[in-house]
Amino acid sequence: MFVSTMTLALVMGHLLRPDAGLWTLTLLYVGPDQILPLASFLSAIVGVLLIFWRYVVGLVKRAWYALVKRT
């Protein structure tokens, strides 16, 4: 992939401005080593949800019917 010097200068110049803000500067530090633990955590939650999917659906249905029945 070829990135011209001008494109890189435009992007980095915008990110490194004194008034860029903390959020913009934080984006510079996000890489795979920071994302993998988050992905692992989310996949564990989804795995547990899928193991007990039948019970989760039943709970949601009961809650929905209870809310609809009261209104």
What are the structural domain ranges in the chain?
Answer: 1-30, 31-71
Kind plus residue range of the DSSP H or E element containing 2 = none
Flag whether the pTM goes above 0.85. Answer: no
CB 15 within 8 A of CB 25: yes
19-63 pLDDT tens trace:
656 656 566 666 778 788 888 999 999 999 999 999 989 999 999
**Banded model confidence at residue 11, pLDDT cuts 50, 70, 90:** low
DSSP annotation string for 18-43: TTS-HHHHHGGG--HHHHHHHHHHHH
